[in-house]
């Protein structure tokens, strides 16, 4: 099927042409100087004026089309006329040079026409209409120029026309080859994008499927840890819990890498308290450091603004990884976490320094590559997937920062994270938005008191039902179970609930639609607090949860203290 003369390929060429305008203007200035030197000021000024008129016309057509919001067809037609004017101005130059009767300038005319053909086969080959203009005008000049000057025999004319024909044949075949390559590249890009989307969908699905059984494993391990156990049972339960948490950390790392590569990881900007974040981080790793006989030091430079604007969750993730590695690879001595002022008031430099085994320059060079560790012996001795530092480096880049390392074998290592974190006024408050809390980065308050509360849990998986029931009943709540969204709505119409927990992926009626119907008043109290339960690690947009009617989000595997704390907060209960 023949392509339309004014198809959307013209829009792509028009965009490229606008970007090349400064280069064309610079070239016009150089050519005008060349003409002035060889043919005099009058011809130089006349041609330069013609070239500028062509550029102004092209700019005017573009601006007018945008201002009048013309249809695509009219906009493209306007650009085609602009191309005719611009190519005409440069083609006229070949005629001027050829008719000068100066052999050197005639040679320049041929070079200029050849350059126009090269431009056509390399730039406008995607748009047949523009390609015809870009080729047709200089080709016509090459045919006409010998006729204008005369003095050539029929054999000479035939020879020159043959040369022009061969040049045009090459131009067309080269343009066709370029077009085929471009089509193949676009098809490959589309296929790669489709594969990436399929990978993301698979990871979202497998994340949900893995988190569901892990929800049961970790929740029941947590319940066991609070039971009366003998020392051996307590150690076994702790090992079970720690192994499950390690598996979840690995899963989250793989998902983070996938989201970063797909460009789907969003960086937030919200006010947070820097000393509080660093203090919580030190408290989180204090026990692990003490167990190894290490000193874990925290230093915050005097005068450093406490309130900062940035993504506290991702900052915590990076620093947590750096401190974790420092504790892991330091057999004795200390680990120091420092917050220092950067080169500008908005910049903060975080240092994590240890007295550990250190790194060679070669090891440091590949440290931030995915699935890379210092060497195989370290991987065997200390474990790990080699993803953590790669994720940290990419997260820092997404936050417009960077991570560097200074290290030497046996002399420890210093990791330096530099981030732009603008200071905030002390009165600034964080936006109240639902958040999904990572299991490894939560505080551990006492279990909340939910005595007397009626909590409806809607989830189709028996393991998730059992986990939610065990956690909520441990807090004193009365739990009602529904297998899907419709059953949840029916339950609310029968008896009101003080709190509703909805799994997002349920048969019959999913969690999102169930929440929307509750908010519309189709069942129970429209203002009842609703918590989303999700294993979808790839879908963490707080604005989306709020739009669907949720007040909070708990990511599976559910952490008992987090769920109970959220339930107590939403129902205004305290222990």
- CATH code of the domain containing 414: 3.30.565.10
The residue with greater pLDDT, 20 or 54, is 54
**Claim to verify: residue 399 and residue 475 sit in the same structural domain:** no
Output the pLDDT for position 446. Answer: 47
Cross-strand pairs, 300: 339
Quick check: is 18 in a domain? yes
Instruction: pLDDT band for 519, please (50, 70, 90 cuts).
Output: very high
Nearest to 404 by CA among 466, 331, 470, 342: 342
Q: What is the pLDDT of residues 203-262, one digit of tens each?
A: 767 766 777 787 778 878 887 887 888 888 888 888 888 778 778 777 777 777 777 776
How many folded domains does the chain comprise?
4
The answer on 278 and 256 residing in a single domain is no
d(C-alpha 407, C-alpha 357), whole Å: 9
On whether residue 199 sits in a domain, the answer given is: no
In a domain, 449, yes or no: no
**Cis peptide bond upstream of 212, omega within 30:** no
Dihedral sign from CA coordinates of 26, 30, 31, 32? positive
Residue 426: per-residue pLDDT: 59
Nearest to 387 by CA among 258, 557, 528: 258
Same domain, 416 and 277: yes
Is the C-alpha dihedral spanning 372, 374, 378, 383 positive or negative?
A: negative
Q: How far apart are CA 381 and CA 358, in angstroms?
A: 15
442 or 532, higher pLDDT = 532
Q: What is the mean pLDDT of residues 334-350?
A: 93
Angle, CA of 251, 244 and 250, to the nearest 5°: 20
Per-residue model confidence (pLDDT) at position 449: 76
- Give the pLDDT confidence of 362-397 residue by residue, as tens digits: 888 877 776 555 554 444 344 444 567 888 898 999
Q: What is the pLDDT of residue 437?
A: 36
Same domain, yes or no, for 138 and 228? no
Output the pLDDT for position 425: 64
**In which band, very low, low, confident or very high, does the pLDDT at 163 lie, cut at 50, 70 and 90?**
very high
Could you say which of 127, 151, 175 is where a domain stops? 151
As a residue count, the chain comes to 575
Residue 47, both tokens: 């041609």
Domain assignment of residue 433, yes or no = no
Which CATH number characterizes residue 483's domain?
3.40.50.2300
Pick the more confident residue, 537 or 47: 47
CB 298 within 8 A of CB 337: yes
pLDDT digits (tens, 9 = 90+) for 87-110: 999 999 999 999 888 899 999 999
Residue 408 has phi, psi (to 5 degrees) of -150, 145
Residues 508, 416: one domain?
Answer: no
Kindly give, in sequence order, each residue whose CB lies less than 8 Å from that of residue 316, ignoring residues fewer than 6 positions away: 277, 280, 281, 441
* 12 and 139 share one domain: yes
Final residue in a domain of this structure, among 119, 151, 183: 151
Neighbours of 68 (CB within 10 A): 10
Closest to 114 measured CA to CA, from 133, 134, 99, 132: 134
pLDDT grade for 540, boundaries at 50, 70 and 90 = low
Rounded to the nearest angstrom, the gap between the alpha carbon of residue 352 and the centroid of all alpha carbons in its chain is: 26
Dump pLDDT digits (tens) for 427-478: 444 334 443 333 333 333 445 678 889 999 999 888 889 888 988 998 899 9
Residues 279 and 388 in one domain: yes
The whole-angstrom separation of Cα 337 and Cα 353 is 7
Pairing of strands 478-482, 530-534: unpaired
**Rounded CA separation 567/569 (Å):** 5
Considering the domain architecture, whether residues 322 and 252 belong to the same structural domain is answered as no
pLDDT digits (tens, 9 = 90+) for 466-513: 888 988 998 899 999 999 999 999 999 999 999 999 998 888 999 999
Domain range enclosing 460:
454-572
φ/ψ of residue 101, rounded to 5: 65, 10
* pLDDT for 431: 37
Residue 510 lies in a domain: yes
Q: Is the domain of 413 the same as that of 473?
A: no
**What pLDDT is attached to residue 448?**
60
Residue of 440 and 421 predicted with greater confidence:
421
CA distance 250 to 326: 18
Show Cβ contacts of residue 240 under 8 Å, excluding neighbours closer than 6 positions: 217, 221, 224
Query: In a 3-state reduction of DSSP, which class is residue 528?
Result: coil
Q: Is residue 246 domain-shared with residue 276, that is, in the same domain?
A: no
Band (542; pLDDT cuts 50, 70, 90)? low
Q: Is 103 found in the same domain as 42?
A: yes
Query: 419 vs 428, which has greater pLDDT?
Result: 419
- What's the CA gap between 52 and 65, in Å, rounded? 20
Pairing of strands 499-503, 530-534: parallel
Query: Is residue 411 one of the residues assigned to a domain?
Result: yes
Say which DSSP state 272 is in: E
Of 262, 294, 319, the one marking the end of a domain is 262
Residues 3-37 have pLDDT tens digits of 677 878 888 888 877 788 888 899 999 999 999 99
What pLDDT is attached to residue 375? 52
* Six token digits for residue 57: 């016309």
The answer as to whether 429 is a domain residue is no
228 plus 288 within the same structural domain: no
């Amino acid at each position: 099927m023949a392509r339309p003369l004014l198809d959307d390929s013209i829009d792509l060429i028009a965009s490229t042409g606008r970007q090349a305008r400064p280069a064309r203007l610079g070239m016009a200035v150089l050519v005008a100087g060349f003409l002035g030197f060889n043919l005099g000021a009058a011809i130089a000024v006349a041609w330069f004026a013609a070239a500028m008129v062509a550029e102004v016309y092209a700019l005017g057509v573009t601006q007018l089309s945008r201002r009048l919001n013309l249809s695509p067809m009219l906009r493209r037609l306007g650009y085609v006329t602009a191309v005719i004017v611009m190519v005409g101005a440069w083609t006229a130059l070949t005629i001027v040079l050829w008719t000068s009767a100066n052999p050197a300038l005639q040679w320049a005319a041929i070079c200029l026409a050849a350059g126009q053909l090269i431009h056509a086969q390399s730039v406008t080959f995607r748009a047949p209409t523009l390609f015809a203009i870009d080729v047709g005008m200089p080709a016509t000049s090459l045919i006409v120029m010998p006729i204008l000057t005369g003095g050539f025999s029929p054999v000479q004319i035939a020879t020159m026309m043959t040369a022009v024909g061969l040049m045009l044949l090459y131009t067309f075949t080269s343009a066709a080859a370029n077009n085929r390559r471009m089509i193949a590249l676009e098809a490959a890009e589309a296929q790669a994008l489709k594969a990436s989307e399929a990978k993301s969908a698979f990871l979202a699905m497998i994340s949900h499927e893995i988190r569901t059984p892990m929800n049961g494993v970790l929740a029941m391990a947590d319940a066991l840890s609070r039971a009366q156990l003998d020392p051996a049972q307590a150690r076994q339960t702790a090992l079970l819990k720690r192994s499950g948490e390690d598996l979840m950390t690995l899963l989250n790392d793989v998902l983070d890498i996938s989201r970063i590569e797909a460009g789907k990881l969003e960086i937030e900007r919200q006010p947070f308290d820097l000393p509080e974040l660093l203090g919580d981080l030190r408290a989180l790793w204090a026990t692990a450091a003490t167990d190894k006989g290490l000193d874990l030091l925290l230093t915050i430079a005097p005068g450093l603004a406490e309130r900062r604007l940035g993504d506290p969750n991702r900052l915590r993730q990076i620093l947590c990884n750096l401190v974790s590695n420092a504790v892991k690879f330091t057999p004795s001595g200390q680990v120091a976490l420092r917050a220092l002022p950067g080169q500008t008031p908005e910049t903060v430099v975080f240092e994590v320094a240890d007295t550990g085994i250190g790194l060679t320059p070669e090891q440091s060079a590949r440290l931030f590559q995915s699935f890379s560790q210092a060497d195989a012996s370290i991987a065997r001795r200390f474990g790990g997937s080699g993803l953590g530092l790669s994720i940290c480096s990419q997260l820092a880049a997404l936050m417009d920062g960077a991570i560097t390392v200074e290290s030497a074998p046996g002399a420890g290592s210093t990791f330096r994270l530099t981030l732009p974190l603008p200071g905030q006024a002390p009165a600034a408050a964080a936006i109240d938005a639902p958040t999904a809390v990572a299991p490894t980065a939560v505080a551990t308050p006492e279990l909340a008191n939910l005595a007397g509360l009626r909590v409806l849990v809607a989830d189709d998986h028996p393991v998730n039902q059992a986990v939610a029931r065990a956690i909520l009943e441990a807090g004193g709540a009365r739990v009602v179970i529904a297998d899907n969204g419709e059953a949840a709505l029916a339950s609310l119409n029968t008896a009101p609930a003080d709190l509703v927990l909805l799994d997002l992926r349920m048969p019959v009626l999913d969690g999102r639609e169930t929440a929307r119907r509750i908010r519309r008043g189709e069942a129970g109290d429209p203002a009842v607090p609703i918590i989303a339960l999700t294993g979808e690690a790839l879908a963490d947009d707080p604005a989306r949860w709020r739009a669907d009617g949720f007040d909070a989000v708990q990511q599976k595997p559910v952490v008992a203290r987090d769920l109970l704390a959220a339930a107590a907060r939403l129902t205004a209960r305290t222990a």
